[in-house]
């Protein structure tokens, strides 16, 4: 966050406002009493504030003033005015109807017999009773100052009670602020409201910024608070220090005309203490927001790169698909010519040449199967491989596949073991045949000739189980769980040609038929792969 002034309530360097006078209300139908009171109070000050004497010639007029000016601390109230008990009636009205319980009422009368002191004090909520005859200048001074002190204490207690209530009420909303700047502004406003002083002035400053532009007295007070790292209270000013986690503290300079007493200082300190955690939370939230923003930007950049990579991959797949289609078309025709020529030559070949021609035909078949595997794998990845199931005799399909594969591996023995089989099963013979040929080819490739490859088929429950077992090199136990992954080859297959697509294709074709595939192996002894198809 920038080290800057968060806000100002008044122009810098503005002098504090003068303290307003104490209002004193005289309610008396004798104009001379009002004039004499003004003369007596003219040169008197209390707590550095003079007195302003307000006058009312009747109880009704006095009530109107009190409604408009609830801040009046002391009333000098005559008893006999428009009626013999107008002052007493007004005293009761002030408490009961107007609801002003803070104002101090000094009852003074020129006819004590009309309103006996004992009876009046017991019956009415008044604070003093004086006879006009005995109310000298000194006694008037003593009564007014004593009443004013009582009013001030009552107001202070009420203000502190309201302040505590306000602290409890307003702390929670402040703690939910997510911006240090907004929290500082809200805290200053609540601090001003807590003091209940319209002339209070609150400014906020960063500890890291200079305050040379401020008045010297304000700058000295801020320096003292910043150096000590603690709140500073003076009769006419205060500085509240709110530390911010991993950042410069914020200092709130408070000035008001009325003195800041010890009780108010404790309220301010309590309020600041409750809000301190809010500044730490706001700091953490702002830091988190910056991190989230940075992370979001990084993710957006990464997403853009991924989108580019995905587009490139999709283009590569389209190119691969086109290439495989071309390879399939361009290779199938010459391979078919080679296979056809080999078959024609077999008709007149001797035994030695027949063996070589068998090897040629086996190689042609492996080449065709490799092309078919690549095409099927690409169709699987693009979601274009679909099963075209039809009723097939499982025994006949297996015999055809073994005969086709045996010529490609003349040094191996392919043994077919048939158990109880259904007469027909609904499968895609082309894709299932591709999967089984892959299993037979793998069994032969990873077994040294002469070796036996066993194909066992039987009904197991409601499934058809087809097992292809070899006597080859086996698969490490730790790698069995990965052999059906695309392009994965076991670590002990180095030196044996392969693409890593065969077993992956077997699993996907079995899955498309609604079946499963599983593997069991012992290193150095052989491997058994089982395809289970429903409907057996």
Q: Which helix (H) or strand (E) holds 45?
A: strand 45-46
* pLDDT tens string 451-489: 899 999 999 988 999 999 999 999 999 999 999 998 888
Q: Strand 516-522 relative to strand 526-534: parallel, antiparallel, unpaired?
A: antiparallel
- Residues 531 and 527: their CA atoms lie apart, in Å, by 13
**143-200 pLDDT tens trace:** 999 999 999 888 888 877 777 777 766 667 777 777 777 877 888 887 887 777 777 8
pLDDT band at 327 (very low <50, low <70, confident <90, very high): low
Is 462 within 8 Å of 514 (Cβ atoms)?
A: no
Number of Cβ within a 10 Å radius of residue 9: 14
Burial category of 138 from C-beta neighbours within 10 Å (exposed 0-12, middle 13-18, buried 19 and up): exposed
Calculate the CA 196 to chain-centre distance. Answer: 37
pLDDT digits (tens, 9 = 90+) for 438-460: 899 889 889 988 889 999 999 99
* pLDDT recorded at residue 467: 96
**What's the whole-number average pLDDT of the chain?**
82
The arithmetic mean of pLDDT across residues 422-446, rounded, is 90
d(CA 276, CA 491): 62
Tell me, what DSSP letter sits at residue 348?
Answer: T
pLDDT band for position 115 (50/70/90)?
A: low
Higher pLDDT, 415 or 224: 415
Rounded Cα gap, residues 143 and 40, in angstroms: 13
Residue 140 — very low, low, confident or very high, per pLDDT cuts 50/70/90?
A: confident
Cα 433 → chain centroid: 55
- Reported as a single tens digit per residue, the pLDDT across 503-529 is 988 998 899 899 999 999 999 999 999
What local confidence, expressed as pLDDT, does residue 124 receive? 87
Rounded alpha-carbon distances, angstroms, from residue 398 to 4, 386, 437, 454, 530 = 85, 22, 10, 12, 14
**163-286 belongs to which homologous superfamily?**
GAF domain (3.30.450.40)
- Residue 17: phi, psi to the nearest 5? -70, 150
CA distance 401 to 268: 93
Spell out the domain ranges in the chain: 22-157, 163-286, 386-534
Cβ 521 vs Cβ 480: under 8 Å: yes
* pLDDT reported for residue 486: 82
Alpha-carbon separation of residue 113 from 37, 110, 123, 127 (angstroms): 23, 9, 16, 19
Can you tell me which residue has the tokens 């402040």?
Answer: 174
Q: What percent of the chain has a predicted confidence (pLDDT) above 70?
A: 86
Nearest-angstrom CA–CA distance, 470 and 480:
16
Q: Which phi and psi (to 5°) does residue 390 adopt? A: -155, 160
Counting every residue, how long is the chain? 536
Task: Give the separation between CA 269 and CA 180, rounded to whole angstroms.
Answer: 19
Is the pLDDT at 414 greater than 90? The verdict is yes
Determine the pLDDT at residue 13. 42
Predicted TM-score (pTM) above 0.95: no
Answer whether residue 17 shows pLDDT above 50: no
Span of 57-71, 88-102, 331-345, 380-394 with lowest mean pLDDT:
331-345
Q: In what order do the strands lie in the sheet with 526-534?
A: 412-418, 451-460, 463-469, 526-534, 516-522
Give residue for tokens 């007149």: 348
Topology classification of domain 22-157: Rossmann fold (3.40.50)
Res. 80: pLDDT tops 80:
yes
**pLDDT for res 15:** 43
pLDDT at 236 over 70: yes
Task: Tell me the C-alpha distance between 504 and 485, whole Å.
Answer: 6
- Residue 453: the pLDDT is 94
The residues, ordered by sequence, that sit 6+ positions from 263 with a Cβ below 8 Å of its Cβ are 156, 160
3-class state of residue 352 by DSSP: helix
Q: Smallest Cα–Cα separation from 1: which of 250, 251, 199?
A: 250
* CATH code for the domain defined by 386-534: 3.30.565.10
Q: What is the DSSP string of 376-392?
A: HHHHHHTT------EEE
Is 219's pLDDT higher than 50?
yes
Give the single-character DSSP code of 491: G
For residue 497, what pLDDT band results from cuts at 50, 70 and 90?
confident
Helix 31-41 to helix 137-175 angle (10° resolution) is: 70
Is the pLDDT at 535 greater than 60, yes or no?
Answer: yes
């Amino acid at each position: 966050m920038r080290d800057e002034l968060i806000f100002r309530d008044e122009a810098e360097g503005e002098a504090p406002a003068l303290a307003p006078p104490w209002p004193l209300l005289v309610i008396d139908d004798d104009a001379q009493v009002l004039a004499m009171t003004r003369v007596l109070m003219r040169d008197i000050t209390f707590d550095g504030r003079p007195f302003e004497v307000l006058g009312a010639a009747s109880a009704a007029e006095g009530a109107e003033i009190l409604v408009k000016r609830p801040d009046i601390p002391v009333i000098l109230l005559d008893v006999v005015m428009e009626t013999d008990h107008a002052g007493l009636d007004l005293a009761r009205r002030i408490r009961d109807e107007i609801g002003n319980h803070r104002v101090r009422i000094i009852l003074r009368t020129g006819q004590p017999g009309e309103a006996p002191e004992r009876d009046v004090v017991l019956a009415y909520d008044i604070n003093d009773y004086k006879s006009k005859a005995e109310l000298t200048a000194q006694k008037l001074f003593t009564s007014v100052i004593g009443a004013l002190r009582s009013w001030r204490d009552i107001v202070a207690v009420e203000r502190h009670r309201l302040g505590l209530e306000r602290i409890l009420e307003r702390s929670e909303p402040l703690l939910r602020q997510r911006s240090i700047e907004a929290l500082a502004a809200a805290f200053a406003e609540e601090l001003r409201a807590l003091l209940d002083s319209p002339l209070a002035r609150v400014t906020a400053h960063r500890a890291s910024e200079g305050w040379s532009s401020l008045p010297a007295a304000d700058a000295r007070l801020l320096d003292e608070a910043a150096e000590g790292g603690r709140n500073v209270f003076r009769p006419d000013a205060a500085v509240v220090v709110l530390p911010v986690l991993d950042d410069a503290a914020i200092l709130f300079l408070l000035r008001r005309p009325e003195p800041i007493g010890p009780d108010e200082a404790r309220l301010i300190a309590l309020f600041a203490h409750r809000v301190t955690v809010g500044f730490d939370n706001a700091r953490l939230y702002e830091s988190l927001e910056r991190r989230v923003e940075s992370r979001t930007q990084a993710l957006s950049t990464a997403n853009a790169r991924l989108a580019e990579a995905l587009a490139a991959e999709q283009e590569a797949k389209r190119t691969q698909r086109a290439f495989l289609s071309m390879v399939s078309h361009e290779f199938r025709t010459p391979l078919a010519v080679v296979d056809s020529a080999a078959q024609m030559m077999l008709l007149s070949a001797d035994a030695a040449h027949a063996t070589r021609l068998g090897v040629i035909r086996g190689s042609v078949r492996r080449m065709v199967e490799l092309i078919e595997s690549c095409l099927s794998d690409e169709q699987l990845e693009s979601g274009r491989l679909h099963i075209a199931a039809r009723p097939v005799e499982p025994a006949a399909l297996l015999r055809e596949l073994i005969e086709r594969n045996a010529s490609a591996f003349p040094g191996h023995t392919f043994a077919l073991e048939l158990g109880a089989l259904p007469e027909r099963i609904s499968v895609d013979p082309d894709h299932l045949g591709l999967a089984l040929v892959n299993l037979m080819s793998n069994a032969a490739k990873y077994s040294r000739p002469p070796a036996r490859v066993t194909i066992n088929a039987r009904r197991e429950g409601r499934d058809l189980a087809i097992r292809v077992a070899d006597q080859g090199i086996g698969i490490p136990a730790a790698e069995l769980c990965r052999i059906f992954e695309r392009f994965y080859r076991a670590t002990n297959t180095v030196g044996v040609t392969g693409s890593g697509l065969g077993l992956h294709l077997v699993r996907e074709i079995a899955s498309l038929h609604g079946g499963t595939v599983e593997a069991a192996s012992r290193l150095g002894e052989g491997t058994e792969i089982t395809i289970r198809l429903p409907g057996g």
